[in-house]
């Protein structure tokens, strides 16, 4: 269906005072033959909106162009329902508020933005959602420990079917070895019962939960709404279809074999935290070596953690675990001497009450660096440097030493049987995927969730801790990041929410975060595919598989709609209904490029929708003036930048192209992970082309702009304009 | 009949998250915020730790998610007056306070241009002023002006006359509105502990003693100094600065718990200072540095900065010299000396007090000794974020996401999708 376009120009907020509205309207009516074009002094007012509504009904308009304020405001006012597409021409924040009023160049800018938007309208269709077949709303939870059981129960209580897969023969995970757990509720002063039986019973009794124990996942193929999972139990395999997955396989204690310097291995009475739990669970705490009652005991904190030689990170749970274990001892024998040798006591938040309880019970906390642990005739000596006394200290005749040995996520271990299997990682910025034999994803980019750091498959976003690079698969609990049990319970509930949200959105054909609700998805014109594999390699979410001939096999429900594939494709065969290479390409060709003798250069800016575009708006709101030569095109992500646009711009005589994207590197801010980085890499390729054409590669540059950099925008643009000016006009003008 | 919509009280990061996450599952959500804008305290933060990225970036995404989702209705300048009923059927009375600006506002800014009166800018913790007609901040969502009538000049109608859109209504009255919902998520967050109650640190008396939340505004480009960290007393540059940890937290006389974010916040703020003053002396007085998990990497990074020292010891008192300089008296527990060090500026790492320490939830809920919600005694009502625990942003989002599933369970129930 062709678009029937109505153009509505607002003269309010000073727009009419700064621009020639008649000339602007002529662009729409004469150049683009818009059937309806009206001007109003207060378009966002009730009367203004009524004019548009009446025309939609009366004239059958299905595409409304509102030229006035930024699309970031009045979104609700200019919403005319799902059948009417609305595009905004930002005359206010981007033109009138940043440029000289009643100036030819300001008018030219406004008219160009009108042209660019009208051209966009001609190339844009309303997306129809992708709806998969045999969609499942079931949630697969991998791992039956505290976090996994919690996720399963939370999803089940919300009304969803759950499949819970546990590798051991019993549910409960580490709880099976624990005597008690750290308190989960106020007043946070006493260890709590594990309530293991009650927790397991609740899972087993829940009719919505199907449990597989002694089970592993042999293969996970498919995509959100359509994950096909092969579950192996002994010699048999069972298939399950699930809509989303919670990965809650937890962590394991750091291998104490590396901790000889802290006495591990010197005596059976130097044990780990888990060994101590087992000891406490068995009855009165006694020495493993001879069964004697324990009267003097030392906990050594950060045994492996916060140690560049072992685990550089803090394991987050060990301080409160040791406090809990110290309280076991004190409750059994108040006279026992209990020492905790620590670097910092990290009983954060309300666990401060737990720490205080231990101090009140007489547990002695010593800020010290442990120098040596030795055994002589059945008694242990711990030598340390007391940091507060500034002197050596020593605990001798110690009955038991407990090493708080930290945690390592189950995803950090490469399964030796898988070493060398699978695809090679050939791209420059390949995700770190450790073949841990947990999910065994049939994904072109590798079989497990990408690791963020230290093997934890965590989100890199503070505001979106459930962000995942594998859509529909959410890590929860101590596999995701180091955390204590209280945090793991909450985390598991949150992950359950994300899982049910994913299945619901997938069932409606909607994208999940960050382009939540987007109905568009990439379509591939396969007849022109050259099997170059760039799309399958570069997709930040592993959404595209490959067949044996290297043809891309897209999985629309894994897709997050960033357009990285579209930007990557040298044949330009990938497009969205409402975002495509020709659409942006035509926008590049829509604005006017003055002849060389007019001395009015043109600078094209491709700006990330999420950060650079709001920053440009903020520059306007603060009335910061910037270069009149600039024309901005918003992009979903710089990752969607296709090099043809730069060629198009350059061959029209555009003098410079600037890419404004998010920070990349270790602290990347791109919400599609690698968009700006990939754009930078592509740009290095375009420089060669430009050089060959005799155009200076400096004409195309990239810059990092975050949402708060609006104050820097005028200078960034002026500097770039000055640089381009120095190069002189693009010689391709007029060709 | 079970009402399948939910109410989220509080439009900060926790409330926003609970609302958006629940709405994307398909629920109808009412979101109620007391301020004239959404975003709460994270909107006032300059950068998040440990990535040092701007909070407005994530807020922008969340606002987009809201804009696109017809399931969410939000009210700013609104409060909950009363709650009655039970899970699946709560009657809630909302009080909508007058903004004195109606939906006609285009945010053109003419009213503020013409306004002759000023008011303390609470967004910047009073460190500068706005006009009585003001935009809370340039990222404000919704982007609508507000009139602070208490600051207006008697009989002044300049803004009304300046506005071409009839957007200003000085006669606007507070009104109440009744809604029925199936479940309620309470996420009204926290406020910084009142530093004036720590008399020995001189906050309020010594202008160069500020709090950590004020430091966020000083470092922010849209703050009172356009992002320059300057001495409040004279606007001068600094050559030394101290951070005092646990200012009010882990203290029997103030907040008994640890506020859990202040260590990372001060380490982060040390990097703000380092960026602007490569040679300034930075000193952090602490009891324990609590950088859990991968945050340890950030601690190591700051430790490796030159001219950053850590003093294990709780600062005892701050004295002010005649030049406005500050002397911190503290016991350095490691050297076992009583130290007296001079600084140009001191930042108190004041902790988090839950809003519920003062303003209780109009429902049956129990609280712990610091005022955090410890348990909801009414099915269908749950707390999320910093009213429940002192949490950093990532943990608040996690907690709010977890609260969203509880609310969904309340309105759907098992086998009732």
Q: What is the pLDDT of residues A204-217, one digit of tens each?
A: 999 999 999 999 99
Nearest to B246 by CA among B330, B325, B163, B327: B330
User: What is the average pLDDT value for chain B, to the nearest integer?
Assistant: 96
**CB-based contact B290 A346, cutoff 8 Å:** yes
Query: What span, in angstroms and rounded, lies between the C-alpha atoms of A291 and A82?
Result: 74
Query: What span, in angstroms and rounded, lies between the C-alpha atoms of B378 and B401?
Result: 20
pLDDT of res. A3: 83
Q: How many CB atoms lie within 10 A of CB A60?
A: 10
Backbone angles phi, psi at A140, to 5 degrees: -95, 125
Nearest residue of chain A to residue B73 (CA atoms):
A76
Backbone angles phi, psi at B207, to 5 degrees: -60, -25
Structure tokens at A48: 């203004």
pLDDT of res. A123: 87
pLDDT of res. A422: 42
Instruction: Measure in Å the smallest separation between the Cα of B79 and chain A Cα atoms.
Output: 23
Which parts of B69-208 fold into alpha helices (H)? 110-114, 158-162
Label residue A720 exposed, middle or buried (CB < 10 Å: 0-12, 13-18, 19+): buried
**CB-based contact A349 B390, cutoff 8 Å:** yes
**CB-based contact B68 A516, cutoff 8 Å:** yes
Contacts of A471 (CB under 8 A, 6+ apart): A223, A224, A502, A512, A541, A543, A557, A558, A559, A560
Query: What span, in angstroms and rounded, lies between the C-alpha atoms of A260 and A305?
Result: 14
Whether residue A15 is predicted with pLDDT greater than 70 in this model: the reply is yes
Instruction: Measure in Å the smallest separation between the Cα of B80 and chain A Cα atoms.
Output: 25
Answer yes or no: are the C-beta atoms of B195 and B206 closer than 8 Å.
no
pLDDT-derived band at B31 (thresholds 50, 70, 90) equals very high
Instruction: Measure in Å the smallest separation between the Cα of A153 and chain B Cα atoms.
Output: 10
Structure tokens at B257: 């718990």
**CB-based contact B258 A351, cutoff 8 Å:** yes
Structure tokens at A148: 């996994």
DSSP lists the bridge partners of residue A9 as: A39, A67
Query: What span, in angstroms and rounded, lies between the C-alpha atoms of A268 and B75?
Result: 64
Q: Which of A455-469, B46-60, B324-338, B346-360 has the lowest mean pLDDT?
A: B324-338
User: What is the average pLDDT value for chain A, to the nearest integer?
Assistant: 95
Eight-state DSSP code of residue A520: -
Query: What span, in angstroms and rounded, lies between the C-alpha atoms of A485 and A323?
Result: 14
Query: What span, in angstroms and rounded, lies between the C-alpha atoms of A551 and A535?
Result: 10
Structure tokens at A352: 């401060």
Instruction: Measure in Å the smallest separation between the Cα of A234 and chain B Cα atoms.
Output: 32
Which parts of B284-343 fold into alpha helices (H)? 295-303
Share of chain A above pLDDT 70, in %: 98
Answer yes or no: are the C-beta atoms of A225 and A557 closer than 8 Å.
yes
How does pLDDT run across A456-502, given as a tens digit for each residue?
999 999 999 999 999 999 999 999 999 999 999 999 999 999 999 99
Across A304-318, average pLDDT? 97
Better pLDDT: A419 or B132:
B132
Nearest to A249 by CA among A152, A194, A173: A173
pLDDT of res. B409: 96
Whether residue A642 is predicted with pLDDT greater than 70 in this model: the reply is yes
**CB-based contact B13 A208, cutoff 8 Å:** no
**CB-based contact A156 B368, cutoff 8 Å:** no
Residues of B in contact with A618 (CB under 8 A): 138-139
Residues of B in contact with A69 (CB under 8 A): 106-107
Nearest to A324 by CA among A306, A307, A340: A340
Eight-state DSSP code of residue A31: I
Residues of B in contact with A75 (CB under 8 A): 67
How does pLDDT run across B221-267, given as a tens digit for each residue?
999 999 999 999 999 999 999 999 999 999 999 999 999 999 999 99
DSSP A440-473: -B--TT-SSPPB-BTTB---S-SS-TT--SSTTE
**CB-based contact A466 B401, cutoff 8 Å:** yes
Instruction: Measure in Å the smallest separation between the Cα of B271 and chain A Cα atoms.
Output: 15
DSSP A662-717: ---STT---TTSSHHHHHHHHHHHHHHHHHHHT--GGGEEEEE--TTGGGGHHHHH
Query: What span, in angstroms and rounded, lies between the C-alpha atoms of A605 and A618?
Result: 16
**CB-based contact A463 B293, cutoff 8 Å:** no
Whether residue A691 is predicted with pLDDT greater than 90 in this model: the reply is no
How does pLDDT run across A455-466, given as a tens digit for each residue?
999 999 999 999
Radius of gyration of chain A (CA): 31
Across A405-423, average pLDDT? 81
Answer yes or no: are the C-beta atoms of B208 and B244 closer than 8 Å.
no
Query: What span, in angstroms and rounded, lies between the C-alpha atoms of A315 and A254?
Result: 10
Helix/strand/coil for B296: helix
Whether residue A421 is predicted with pLDDT greater than 70 in this model: the reply is no
pLDDT of res. A378: 85
pLDDT-derived band at A389 (thresholds 50, 70, 90) equals confident
Residue A379 to residues A287, A340, A371, B237, Cα–Cα distance (Å): 11, 18, 17, 59
Answer yes or no: are the C-beta atoms of A31 and A23 closer than 8 Å.
no
Eight-state DSSP code of residue A557: G
Label residue A229 exposed, middle or buried (CB < 10 Å: 0-12, 13-18, 19+): buried
Q: Which of B8, B14, B61 to mutate to test binding with chain A, by most A CBs within 10 Å of its CB?
A: B61
pLDDT of res. A688: 79
How would you write A597-643 as a 3-class SS string? HHCCCCEEEEEECCCHHHHHHHHHHCCCCCCCCEEEEEECCHHHCCH
The residue assigned the tokens 């500026």 is: B345
End-to-end CA distance of chain A: 35
Q: Which of A708, A710, A715 to mutate to test binding with chain B, by most B CBs within 10 Å of its CB?
A: A708
DSSP lists the bridge partners of residue A680 as: none
Eight-state DSSP code of residue A294: P
Nearest to A313 among B108, B296, B415 (CB): B296
Whether residue B414 is predicted with pLDDT greater than 80 in this model: the reply is no
pLDDT of res. A362: 98
**CB-based contact B257 A352, cutoff 8 Å:** yes
Residues of B in contact with A301 (CB under 8 A): none
Nearest to B399 by CA among B368, B372, B364, B366: B372
**CB-based contact B258 A671, cutoff 8 Å:** no
Across A549-558, average pLDDT? 97
How does pLDDT run across A706-735, given as a tens digit for each residue?
999 999 999 999 999 999 999 999 998 876
**CB-based contact B336 A390, cutoff 8 Å:** yes
Answer yes or no: are the C-beta atoms of A413 and A434 closer than 8 Å.
yes
**CB-based contact A454 B143, cutoff 8 Å:** no
Whether residue B274 is predicted with pLDDT greater than 70 in this model: the reply is yes
Nearest residue of chain B to residue A497 (CA atoms):
B405
Whether residue B179 is predicted with pLDDT greater than 50 in this model: the reply is yes
Nearest residue of chain A to residue B402 (CA atoms):
A494
Residues of B in contact with A501 (CB under 8 A): 21, 24-25
Q: How many CB atoms lie within 10 A of CB B275?
A: 11
Residues of A in contact with B22 (CB under 8 A): 497
**CB-based contact B258 A501, cutoff 8 Å:** no
Q: Which of A62-66, A267-271, A331-335, A685-689 has the lowest mean pLDDT?
A: A685-689
Residues of B in contact with A715 (CB under 8 A): none
pLDDT of res. A425: 38
Tally A–B CB contacts below 8 A. Answer: 266
End-to-end CA distance of chain B: 14
Instruction: Measure in Å the smallest separation between the Cα of B231 and chain A Cα atoms.
Output: 22
Alpha-carbon torsion angle A701, A706, A711, A714, nearest 10:
20
Alpha-carbon torsion angle B353, B358, B364, B367, nearest 10:
40
**CB-based contact A12 B336, cutoff 8 Å:** no
Any idea how long chain B is? 417
Whether residue B269 is predicted with pLDDT greater than 80 in this model: the reply is yes
pLDDT of res. B417: 46
Whether residue A244 is predicted with pLDDT greater than 50 in this model: the reply is yes
pLDDT of res. A419: 60
**CB-based contact B53 A663, cutoff 8 Å:** yes
pLDDT-derived band at B368 (thresholds 50, 70, 90) equals very high
How does pLDDT run across B195-232, given as a tens digit for each residue?
999 999 999 999 999 999 999 999 999 999 999 999 99
Query: What span, in angstroms and rounded, lies between the C-alpha atoms of B72 and A73?
Result: 17
Answer yes or no: are the C-beta atoms of A572 and A695 closer than 8 Å.
no
Whether residue B12 is predicted with pLDDT greater than 80 in this model: the reply is yes
Nearest residue of chain B to residue A188 (CA atoms):
B368
pLDDT of res. A1: 53
Run of H or E residues at A723: helix A713-727
pLDDT-derived band at A640 (thresholds 50, 70, 90) equals very high
How does pLDDT run across A139-181, given as a tens digit for each residue?
999 999 999 999 999 999 999 999 999 999 999 999 999 999 9
Whether residue B416 is predicted with pLDDT greater than 60 in this model: the reply is no
Q: Which of A386-395, A462-471, A527-536, B50-59 has the lowest mean pLDDT?
A: A386-395
pLDDT-derived band at A424 (thresholds 50, 70, 90) equals very low
């Amino acid at each position: 269906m062709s678009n029937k376009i109505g153009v509505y120009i607002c003269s309010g907020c000073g727009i009419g005072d700064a621009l020639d509205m008649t000339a602007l309207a002529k662009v729409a009516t004469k150049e683009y033959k818009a059937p309806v074009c009206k001007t109003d002094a207060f378009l966002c007012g009730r009367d203004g909106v009524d004019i548009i509504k009446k025309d939609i009904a009366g004239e059958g308009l299905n595409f409304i162009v509102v030229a006035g304020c930024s699309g970031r405001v009045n979104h609700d006012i200019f919403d005319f329902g799902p059948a009417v597409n609305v595009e905004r021409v930002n005359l206010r924040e981007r033109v009138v508020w940043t440029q000289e009023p009643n100036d030819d160049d300001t008018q030219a800018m406004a008219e160009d933005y009108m042209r660019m938007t009208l051209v966009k309208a001609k190339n844009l269709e309303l997306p129809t959602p992708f709806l998969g077949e045999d969609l499942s709303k079931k949630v697969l939870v991998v791992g039956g420990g505290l976090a996994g059981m919690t996720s399963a129960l939370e999803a089940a209580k919300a009304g969803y079917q759950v499949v819970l897969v546990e590798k051991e023969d019993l549910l409960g995970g580490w709880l099976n070895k624990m005597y008690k757990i750290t308190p989960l509720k106020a007043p946070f002063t006493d260890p709590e019962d594990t309530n293991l039986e009650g927790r397991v019973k609740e899972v087993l009794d829940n009719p919505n939960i199907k449990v597989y124990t002694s089970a592993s996942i042999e293969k996970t193929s498919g995509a959100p709404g359509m994950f096909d999972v092969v579950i192996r139990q002994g010699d048999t395999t069972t298939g399950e279809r699930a809509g989303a997955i919670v990965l809650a396989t937890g962590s394991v204690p750091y291998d104490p074999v590396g901790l000889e310097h802290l006495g591990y291995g010197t005596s059976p009475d130097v044990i780990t935290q888990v060994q101590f739990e087992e000891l406490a669970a068995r009855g009165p705490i006694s020495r493993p070596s001879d069964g004697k009652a324990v009267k003097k005991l030392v906990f050594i904190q950060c045994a492996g953690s916060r140690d560049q030689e072992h685990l550089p990170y803090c394991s987050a749970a060990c301080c409160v675990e040791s406090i809990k274990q110290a309280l076991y001892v004190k409750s059994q024998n108040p006279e026992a001497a209990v020492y905790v040798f620590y670097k910092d006591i990290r009983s954060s938040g309300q666990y401060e009450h737990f720490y205080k309880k231990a101090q009140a019970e007489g547990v002695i906390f010593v800020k010290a660096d442990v120098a040596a642990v030795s055994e002589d005739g059945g008694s242990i000596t711990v030598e340390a440097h007391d940091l507060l006394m500034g002197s050596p200290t020593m605990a001798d005749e110690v009955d038991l030493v407990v090493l708080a040995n930290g945690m390592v996520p189950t995803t950090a271990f490469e399964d030796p049987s898988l070493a060398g299997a699978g695809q090679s990682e050939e791209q420059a910025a390949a995700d770190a995927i450790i073949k841990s034999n947990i999910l065994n994803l049939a994904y072109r980019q590798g079989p497990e969730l990408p690791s963020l750091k230290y093997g934890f498959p965590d989100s890199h976003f503070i505001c979106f801790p459930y962000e995942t690079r594998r859509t529909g698969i959410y890590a929860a609990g101590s596999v995701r990041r180091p955390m204590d049990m209280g945090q793991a319970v909450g985390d598991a509930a949150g992950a359950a929410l994300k899982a049910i949200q994913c299945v619901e959105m997938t069932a409606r054909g909607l994208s999940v975060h960050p382009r939540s609700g987007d109905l568009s998805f990439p379509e591939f014109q396969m007849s022109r595919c050259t099997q170059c594999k760039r799309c399958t390699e570069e997709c930040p979410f592993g959404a595209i598989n490959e067949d044996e001939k290297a043809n891309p096999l897209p999985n629309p429900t894994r897709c997050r709609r960033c357009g990285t594939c579209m930007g990557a494709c040298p044949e330009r065969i990938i497009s969205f209904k409402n975002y495509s290479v020709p659409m942006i390409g035509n926008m590049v060709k829509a604005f006017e490029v003055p002849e060389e003798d007019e001395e009015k250069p043109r600078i094209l800016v491709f700006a990330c929708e999420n950060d650079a575009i709001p920053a440009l708006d903020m520059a306007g709101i603060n009335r910061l003036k910037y270069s009149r030569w600039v024309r901005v095109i918003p992009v979903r992500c710089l990752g969607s930048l296709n090099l043809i646009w730069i060629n198009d711009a350059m061959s029209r005589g555009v003098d410079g192209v600037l890419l404004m994207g998010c920070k990349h590197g270790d602290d990347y801010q791109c919400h599609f992970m690698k968009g700006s980085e990939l754009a930078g890499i592509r740009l290095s390729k375009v420089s060669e082309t430009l050089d060959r054409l005799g155009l200076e590669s400096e004409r195309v540059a990239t810059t990092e702009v975050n949402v708060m950099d609006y104050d820097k925008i005028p200078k960034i643009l002026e500097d770039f304009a000055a640089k381009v000016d120095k190069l002189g006009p693009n010689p391709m003008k007029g060709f | 009949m079970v009402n399948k919509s939910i109410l989220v009280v509080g439009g900060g990061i926790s409330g926003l998250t609970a609302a958006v996450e629940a709405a994307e599952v398909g629920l109808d959500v009412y979101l109620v915020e007391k301020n004239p804008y959404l975003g709460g305290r994270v909107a006032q933060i300059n950068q998040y730790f440990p990535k040092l990225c701007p909070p407005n970036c994530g807020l922008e995404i969340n606002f987009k998610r809201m804009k696109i989702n017809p399931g969410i209705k939000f009210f700013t300048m609104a409060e909950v007056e009363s709650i009655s009923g039970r899970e699946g059927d709560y009657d809630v009375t909302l009080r909508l306070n007058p903004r004195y600006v109606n939906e006609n506002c285009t945010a053109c800014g003419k009213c503020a241009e013409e306004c002759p009166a000023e008011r303390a800018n609470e967004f910047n913790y009073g460190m500068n002023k706005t006009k009585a007609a003001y935009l809370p901040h340039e990222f404000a969502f919704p982007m609508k002006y507000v009139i602070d009538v208490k600051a207006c000049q008697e009989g002044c109608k300049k803004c009304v006359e300046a506005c071409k859109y009839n957007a200003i209504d000085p006669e606007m009255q507070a009104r109440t509105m009744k809604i029925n919902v199936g479940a309620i998520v309470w996420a009204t967050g926290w406020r910084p502990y009142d530093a004036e109650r720590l008399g020995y640190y001189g906050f309020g008396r010594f202008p160069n003693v500020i709090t950590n939340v004020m430091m966020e505004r000083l470092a922010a480009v849209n703050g009172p100094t356009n992002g320059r960290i300057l001495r409040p007393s004279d606007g001068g540059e600094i050559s030394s600065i101290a951070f005092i940890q646990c200012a009010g937290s882990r203290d029997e006389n103030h907040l008994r718990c640890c506020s859990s974010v202040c260590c990372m916040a001060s380490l982060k703020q040390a990097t703000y200072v380092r960026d602007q003053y490569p040679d300034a002396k930075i000193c952090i007085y602490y009891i324990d540095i609590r950088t859990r998990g991968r945050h340890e990497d950030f601690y190591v990074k700051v430790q490796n900065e030159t001219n950053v020292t850590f003093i294990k010891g709780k600062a005892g008192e701050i004295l002010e010299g005649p030049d406005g300089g500050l002397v911190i008296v503290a016991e350095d527990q490691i050297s076992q000396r009583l130290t007296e060090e001079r600084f140009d500026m001191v930042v108190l790492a004041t902790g988090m007090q839950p809003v519920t320490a003062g303003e209780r939830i109009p429902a049956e809920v129990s609280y712990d000794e610091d005022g955090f919600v410890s348990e909801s005694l009414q099915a269908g009502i749950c707390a999320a974020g910093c009213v429940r625990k002192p949490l950093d942003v990532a943990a608040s989002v996690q907690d709010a996401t977890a609260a969203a599933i509880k609310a969904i369970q309340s309105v759907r129930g098992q086998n009732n999708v």
